[in-house]
Amino acid sequence: VRQTIPRAREFDSSLAFLREGYTFVSSRCDALGSDLFRTRIMMSPVVCMRGAEAAGRFYEGDRFTRKRAMPPHVLWLLQDQGSVQTLDAEEHRHRKRVFLRMLLDPEAIARLARTFRGELNRVVRSDGAHSALSVQDMMQEALARAAALWAGVPFAEEEAAARMRELAAMVENAGSIGPSNWGAILLRQRTERWGKGKIEDIRDGRLSIADDAPAAIIASHRDLGGELLPASIAAVELINILRPTLAVANFITFAALALHEHTRWVEIFREDGHDELRPFAQEVRRYYPFFPVVAGRVRKPFDWSGHHFAARDWVMLDLYGTNHDGRIWEEPGSFRPERFRDWSGDANTLIPQGGGFADTGHRCPGEEITLALIEEAVGFLTRDIRYSVPPQDLDFSLSSLPALPKSRFLMADIAPA
């Protein structure tokens, strides 16, 4: 059975993947007429797959582990040693509950959104007088400060700039090879030292924070054997909520671009339009590129689509291609928030943050937070302030990871609405 799925034309796809980025998997699926194909990345055999059914196989039933699975040049800065993402089965579910408890509580989500709004107002007040401000930079700053405050580990003023720079570098250099990636790794070590210090301060009572603050929840979490996590691992998990919260800036910058290109939505949000915020945020997550793929290795062998997936086989699931799959989405290349007005909520079709279920698999536990923050930012950009959009290069390339408008979306003449 192993020979029945087609093979990509090139012997090794490493360069093609680097060159093509987000469309690498789907363009080959289209050309080969198959939802899965075999190739090599850095000489290792890999099966690439896309679509809702593939997402279900990848995310449900504990079939895959993330251990030794991420191609080094793609996103490995986003995956930390010892983190929840590297755990499997019972151990994974136990650690994952910590994240679900912190991140799915409506009160906690509302608190983060409010804190974010406060920080946005502050950034605009202090930087607004300057001639131009990039949405990406402004959002990163407000998100990083809000996340740290919300988590219970606010940045001291003299360290804030360094911490924000480190977190941003971890996100923005994720897709590169060479010096800029090494630089990000060094910065990460610095952030981990800071995080470890905070965890120790909380445990020793030097830093007193509310019991339900995320940093306190992480610091006091016990593993299945009843032990506290080593401080270095707890620090990794703390960073595992700070860094991706800052990464929501990428979606928000794309949301600003969407508002700029589809101005009727600005009018809708100005005249209330509260019910439209969720469909708009969902379409931002579907339409714009962020994570191209996720990768795993088979834990529990299975057969699917005429192929036997044997233990340790390396598999890549196409997130971007599934979000743009014409069999799921009508006119996938059009930005149309309306499609989410009465959406069924299928677990394996809209998968910018993974498929399946967050409690039993590796699906992102931060989706509700991501949506709430995008919605908060869209409300802020359309209702709280007015701005002009000076000439700039708003193009983004589907071959650079992570993708972002080149100019990072500059705004000028910012004033309260």
Q: Is 103 in the site for ligand HEM (CB under 6 A)?
A: yes
Q: Could you tell me the two tokens for 250?
A: 């990428």
Residue 5 or 139 having the CB closest to ligand HEM: 139
**What are the residues whose beta carbons fall under 8 Å from the beta carbon of 364, sequence distance 6 or more?**
244, 353, 354, 358, 370
What single string gives the DSSP state of each residue in 146-178?
Answer: HHHHHHT-PPPHHHHHHHHHHHHHHHHTTT--S
Of 17, 116, 150, 290, the residue at the interface with ligand HEM (CB under 6 A) is 290
**What are the residues whose beta carbons fall under 8 Å from the beta carbon of 15, sequence distance 6 or more?**
none
Q: Is 253 in the site for ligand HEM (CB under 6 A)?
A: no
Q: Is 245 in the site for ligand HEM (CB under 6 A)?
A: yes
Q: Could you tell me the two tokens for 281?
A: 């945020």
The one segment of 239-247, 302-310, 376-384, 407-415 that binds ligand HEM by CB under 6 A: 239-247
Applying the rule CB under 6 A, the residues between 79 and 98 that interact with ligand HEM are 84-85, 96
Q: Is 353 in the site for ligand HEM (CB under 6 A)?
A: yes
| Minimum distance, C-beta of residue 131 to ligand HEM, in the bound complex (Å) | 29
Other C-beta atoms closer than 10 Å to the C-beta of 47 total: 20
Is 303 strand, coil or helix? strand
Number of residues that bind ligand HEM (CB under 6 A): 25
| Minimum distance, C-beta of residue 229 to ligand HEM, in the bound complex (Å) | 14
Residue 103 or 120 having the CB closest to ligand HEM: 103
Of 50, 57, 63, 66, the residue at the interface with ligand HEM (CB under 6 A) is 66
Q: Is 362 in the site for ligand HEM (CB under 6 A)?
A: yes
Look up tokens 């708003």; give the residue. Answer: 394
Q: Could you tell me the two tokens for 179?
A: 């010096």
Of 366, 376, 396, 404, the residue at the interface with ligand HEM (CB under 6 A) is 366
Q: Is 152 in the site for ligand HEM (CB under 6 A)?
A: no
| Minimum distance, C-beta of residue 251 to ligand HEM, in the bound complex (Å) | 6
CB 48 within 8 A of CB 20: no
Residue 29 or 236 having the CB closest to ligand HEM: 236
Preceding omega of 71 cis (within 30 degrees of 0): no
Q: Is 240 in the site for ligand HEM (CB under 6 A)?
A: yes
Residue 38 or 92 having the CB closest to ligand HEM: 92
For 202-207, the CB contacts below 8 A with 24+ separation are: 202/152, 203/228, 203/231, 207/152, 207/153
Residue 246 or 381 having the CB closest to ligand HEM: 246
CB 373 within 8 A of CB 143: yes
Residue 107 or 330 having the CB closest to ligand HEM: 107
| Minimum distance, C-beta of residue 64 to ligand HEM, in the bound complex (Å) | 8
Which has the closest alpha carbon to 377: 291, 248, 279, 287?
248
| Minimum distance, C-beta of residue 105 to ligand HEM, in the bound complex (Å) | 12
Residue 196 or 387 having the CB closest to ligand HEM: 196
Q: Is 348 in the site for ligand HEM (CB under 6 A)?
A: no
Distance (Å, whole) CA 182 – CA 229: 27
| Minimum distance, C-beta of residue 215 to ligand HEM, in the bound complex (Å) | 12
Distance (Å, whole) CA 11 – CA 8: 7
CB 352 within 8 A of CB 291: yes
Residues that bind ligand HEM (CB under 6 A): 66, 84-85, 96, 99, 103, 240-241, 244-245, 247-248, 251, 290-291, 294, 352-354, 362, 364-366, 369-370
